[in-house]
Amino acid sequence: MPGWKHILILLPILAAGLWGKQSLAAPEAGPSTLRNLQEAHNSELLARDRYLLFAARARAERQGAAAALFRAAAVAEGIHADNMARVIRSLGEEPWSHPGSPVVRSTLENLQASAADEVYEQETMYPDFLAAARAEGIEEAIRSLSCAAAVEEGHAALFSALAAGLEQGPVPERTYAVCGGCGHTREWPAPHQCPSCGSGQDGFQEVK
């Protein structure tokens, strides 16, 4: 039977072994797709709030077409956030959001900045998030992220075109159609079928 000196020598070794087992058994962080969905959900909510402020500024500047487009984009971003929130809950978490502090400039500058933001999401953020979702095989996340990416591409084109028009002079007021299923946005009238999610014409909302 070992004496006390031997036991004292063995204690640090035994403790290290126990701690090592505990670290190996510690729960790992959630899948990257879940973290990405949380980030995307927060980003969409921030965009919605930002576009509503931009719409108010455009209306104050008597830029009706820009005000309508910003309101339509805000509706679309809210739809994206709701879709992502459903997926987040299905993966076992509650969606979170952090308030932002958007900077409101002139309507032309707001359009240009919005176009750049949408290009970043469509070309960088969503492709990265989709790659992770595909690698992890989370189909509902793939569908939600794919729809959002497709809509952001359309938003970037709409913002850029309207900014270019404003640089040339006044732009007539416009009405927009937003798909309630995925947020697809275009000038009114609504299409017979949404090109992004396949929803029917009656699923579109008119935004002025």
Mean pLDDT (the chain) is 88
Higher-confidence position of 25 and 143: 143
Confidence band (pLDDT; 50, 70, 90) for 99? confident
Question: pLDDT tens digits, residue range 149-168?
Answer: 999 999 999 999 999 999 99
pLDDT at 29: 34
Mapping DSSP onto H, E and C, the string for the chain reads: CCCHHHHHHHHHHHHHHHHHHHHHHCCCCCCHHHHHHHHHHHHHHHHHHHHHHHHHHHHHCCCHHHHHHHHHHHHHHHHHHHHHHHHHHHCCCCCCCCCCCCCCCCHHHHHHHHHHHHHHHHHHHHHHHHHHHHHHCCHHHHHHHHHHHHHHHHHHHHHHHHHHHHHHCCCCCCCEEEECCCCCEEECCCCCECCCCCCEHHHEEEEC
Mean pLDDT throughout 125-136?
96
Q: Give residue-wise pLDDT tens across range 136-152.
A: 999 999 999 999 999 99
Summarised one tens digit per residue, pLDDT across range 186-201 is: 999 999 999 999 999 9
- Confidence (pTM): 0.84
- Tell me the percentage of the chain whose pLDDT exceeds 90: 84
Residue 22: band (very low, low, confident or very high) from pLDDT cuts 50, 70, 90: very low
pLDDT of residue 164: 97
pLDDT bracket for residue 100 (50, 70, 90): confident
